Structure 1
Amino acid sequence: MSLPLAGKVALITGGSKGIGAQAALRLARDGAKVVVNYSSDSKAADDIVNQIGGGNALAVKANAANVTEIEGLVKQTVAKFGKIDILIPNAGILPMKTLEQTTEQDFDNTFGLNVKGPYFLVQKAVPFMNPGGRIILVSTTLTGLSPITPNYLLYVSTKGSIEQMARVMAKDLASKGINVNAVAPGPTGTDLFLKGKPDAIIEKLAAASPYNRLGKPDEIADTMAFLSGNDSRWITGQTLRINGGAV
């Protein structure tokens, strides 16, 4: 029995930790060759590559907010594996900034990595993608959460952009046979999410789900794997909320 992603090539930014790392491992288990992009932690990226197996994975350092480095990342992927079938612009930052607290540099940094990076990564990758290609953007359940606190303003502003990108890029790329969707995780136990949050806040966020726990990175990766395969061929332009019933 052949693996569902046998012969496919996946490029994942922010692929050395958290959801990105779990997505890399899951897609590899399904048969894909994987390029793991990272920004600074080469050891974590190399560990993911070693788990997959060097012949089927490649770690590439690049700033996923810089268009020149994004283009280089795409070129290295194609040089190694010849094409791109699955693109997951996962790299992002989660600043906790109210309107009053936000500086121009905060705004530029956050939109640069969370919005500009995915936008231009898709632009640079599409010429190397064939019909049947999959693009999976990453949003957040917070875009639809009523009791959200003001310090998420800057972050959710970028993720609202991501959801609109998924909706309209799907129309733009349908003629090329490429599906575009977004996943919107709820509270998930990643280092990025947990950083700086007191236990009381984490417990409150966990209680938002009827399962009374945070999501796990591999649970988000499972949905990414589904969207990467043929079973999702009639899903495009959608944002899938993966939050254990929190919203």
Structure 2
Amino acid sequence: MPTRTDTADRVALVTGGSGGIGKAVVQRLAREGYAVGVHYAGNKATAEALAEEITAAGGKALAVGGDVADETAMAAAFDAVESAFGGLDAVVHTAGVMKLKPIAELDLDELDAMHRTNIRGTFVVNQQAARRLRPGGALVNFSTSVMGLQFPGYGAYVASKGAVEALTLVLARELRGRDVTVNAIAPGPTATPLFLDGKDQETVDRLAAQSPLERLGTPEDIAELAAFLAGPAGHWVNGQTIRDNGGIV
């Protein structure tokens, strides 16, 4: 089967698509003509509103829910997108959680909850994507630039994202012969609710100043790279983790 090259007939599923980076990715792909599955875990109304906004503008979108770590729920979400739009060409897995405490102080229940979403959830989504993506397709996972920055307090979070990077590399090789790429984006400090939660203005300003570009990233900055990797233009990039952080590391 030939590689699909026209983004106007491509279908994408964006996990965590109801807010933050995920929402920006949904909007960016919709502008390119993708039919988009807008996945949510808890923000059903927000996801449905985003899907309705895209549809009202002449695009195609569908809100689908489910815990990313629940294989039955995610199989149903993938099924719904394929049934509505006829197949699947891109999966952008932005869904994740972050708990920040020094390693010596983190409650192990918080560790387990974060790793359930970030590790098991990534495995479940990647497994579904590996089974379903059409030739010419792409899977984009999300890691973090803190892998290189090594901020104190991020130990458990970075451990979960280290697993994501390893899974990305292995799956890219396992899909040899399928004409499907697997990559990961590792954002730096980005102005999303997930990043800003619990940080005072002094901390935010200090982190923003670390980039040579002297600002925080925006969800739209990250969405540009996600759209590139998800589409035909980025199809020669495979098995990579790209630090998308304005030059911090």
State the TM-score, normalized to the length of structure 1: 0.94
Larger mean CA deviation between 134-143 and 165-174 belongs to 165-174
Residue among 50, 70, 83 paired with 1:66: 70
SS at match of 1:34: strand
Q: Which amino acid aligns with 1:232?
A: G
Asked whether 1:214 is paired with 2:216, we answer: yes
TM-superposed CA distance for 1:4, in Å, is 4.8
Superposed counterparts of 1:1-247, under 5 Å = 4-53=6-55, 56-146=60-150, 148-149=151-152, 151-247=153-249
Q: Which amino acid aligns with 1:41?
A: N
Q: Which amino acid aligns with 2:72?
A: T
Larger mean CA deviation between 207-216 and 124-133 belongs to 124-133
* In 2: Cα distance, 1:97 partner to 1:116 partner: 21
TM-superposed CA distance for 1:120, in Å, is 1.3
* In 2: Cα distance, 1:83 partner to 1:22 partner: 22
State the TM-score, normalized to the length of structure 2: 0.93
Report the identity percentage: 38
The 8 Å contact of residues 129 and 139 in structure 2, kept in 1 or not, is answered as: no
TM-superposed CA distance for 1:174, in Å, is 2.3
Gaps of 5+ in 1: none
Larger mean CA deviation between 16-25 and 75-84 belongs to 75-84
The 8 Å contact of residues 4 and 31 in structure 1, kept in 2 or not, is answered as: no
The 8 Å contact of residues 170 and 236 in structure 1, kept in 2 or not, is answered as: yes
Q: Which amino acid aligns with 2:106?
A: T
The 8 Å contact of residues 86 and 133 in structure 1, kept in 2 or not, is answered as: yes
Give the ranges of 4+ consecutive aligned residues of structure 1 lying more than 3 Å apart after TM superposition.
none
Larger mean CA deviation between 70-79 and 25-34 belongs to 70-79
Q: Which amino acid aligns with 2:214?
A: N
Q: Which amino acid aligns with 1:134?
A: A
How large is the RMSD of aligned CA atoms in angstroms?
1.4
TM-superposed CA distance for 1:204, in Å, is 0.8
Gaps of 5+ in 2: none
SS at match of 1:6: helix
TM-superposed CA distance for 1:40, in Å, is 1.4
The 8 Å contact of residues 4 and 30 in structure 1, kept in 2 or not, is answered as: no
